[in-house]
Amino acid sequence: MRQVRIRRLAWKWNFENWDGNMRFQQFTPTAAAWAVFFMSGALMQCAFAQKQPTPQQLAGIAKDAARHFGDDPDNGGPIATDLSYSIKPDAVAKAMRKVADWQLERAHPYFDRIWTWSVLYSGFMAASNSLGDAKYRDAMQAMGEKFEWKLRSQLPNADDQSIGQTYLELYLLKKDSDMLKPTQDALDAILAAPPKGTIPAGKEITWWWCDALFMAPPVWARLYAATGDRKYIDYLDQEWAKTSGLLYDTKEHLYLRDSTYQTKTEANEKKIFWSRGNGWVMGGIVRTLEYLPKDDPARDKYIAQLREMAARVAQLQGPDGLWRASLLDPIDYDLPEVSGSALFTFAIAAGVNDGLLDATIYRSVIEKAWAGILHHVYVDGRLGCIQQTGAEPAPYRATASYTYGVGAFLLAGSEIRKMDHLKPRTGHRGI
């Protein structure tokens, strides 16, 4: 009961007491409560968040480990103390290298084409560009050659399309048609495919789950950039509008994971809005805008939705700078969730860099989030507090680290490093 009271006090605490470097400016009673909570290790070292995993969830965690997506050891070792919470480019680069090198070394023997890997690949591509280090891009080149630049399946769904983001980014750099043709052929087959027969309830649209908006639209936008053919943008805009119409809550300015969550609620009777799911959407918006034509008629709608979601997400940021797995129920999910937090940070930083979000409002959000994330980097480079694969908020260990969370971290760091002068970037941000 005492711990619950501490948590409730902490979540009522005024964020102005927090300076972005995880120090208290004013040691008020509520700040003291949060300090007790922090020092108790509840955020850093507890085995699981307040809820305990079900047998089914434990089986899912074991399956993720068996597929080499990541793991959640009993003891991840000490938290790194050699990283600065500054968002200056050199400080951010040091943290990025530490995490990226740890992940690359342990992951490269198991590279695959499933979405859990493709998000990591996007992070490696961003890190290579940001840090000027070819080794991450070279690893992606070798991966593409290994898989002959093919997607994961025939008539692939959004998840199986996602690896195409990396293939096409490499094509845009090297103009090697071998990198382009398999993805273009697969997406052309989707355009030519006849309507499906029997469609399961809740899956009547192509991108019926919100995660799909990170996985697929950036592929279609990059294919447009590679070919100049507007049919790929037309399809993207058409399908995104369907997903937004079905899943976007215009009052909360957040996305449901899929239509089955329209009536589901948390223990506090509030709607279930999954942090990683909403991070997927915001990340998908900025990665789509990157290659979307400037004159695309849907462009303003994407920007408006990014602004609405960023404002709502900023309101829900925790005192430690991070977000919980369930955005409207931080009490029952007291561990921060790093994959969703990193995706929010990435999207907001990209929005600031592109002049779509106000730096005077969002810089502090980004600073707090980055500092919070770095409190979950271990000495060896492990990035912890990442929820395992799933479709909704669930318990996880503080040590849990998975490939897609690292990809999101590297995307976030790459955008933060561009904020030094807060100049909108040039290049592929709209053609």
As annotated, the active-site residues are 211
Instruction: Give, rounded to a whole angstrom, the gap between the first and last alpha carbons of the chain.
Output: 56
Collapsed DSSP state (helix, strand, coil) of residue 249 = strand
Q: Name, in order, each residue with C-beta under 8 angstroms of 413's C-beta and a sequence gap of 6 or more.
A: 92, 93, 95, 96, 127, 130, 370
25, 16 in Cβ contact below 8 A? yes
State the chain's maximal CA–CA distance in angstroms. 64
CA dihedral 145, 150, 152, 153 (to 10 degrees): -150
**Beta pairing, strands 248-249 & 254-255:** antiparallel
Q: Give the distance, in angstroms, between the CA of residue 92 and the centroid of all CA atoms in the same chain.
A: 18
User: What are the residues facing 265 on neighbouring strands?
Assistant: 271
Instruction: Give the separation between CA 321 and CA 329, rounded to whole angstroms.
Output: 16
Nearest of 365, 326, 354, 216 to residue 280 by alpha carbon = 216
Nearest of 103, 15, 6 to residue 314 by alpha carbon = 15
Collapsed DSSP state (helix, strand, coil) of residue 305 = helix
Nearest of 162, 222, 151 to residue 186 by alpha carbon = 151
Instruction: Give the CA angle between residues 303, 307, 309 to the nearest 5°.
Output: 115
Instruction: Give the separation between CA 264 and CA 319, rounded to whole angstroms.
Output: 27
Burial class of residue 136 (count of CB atoms within 10 Å of its CB; 0-12, 13-18, 19+): buried
Instruction: Give the separation between CA 373 and CA 127, rounded to whole angstroms.
Output: 17
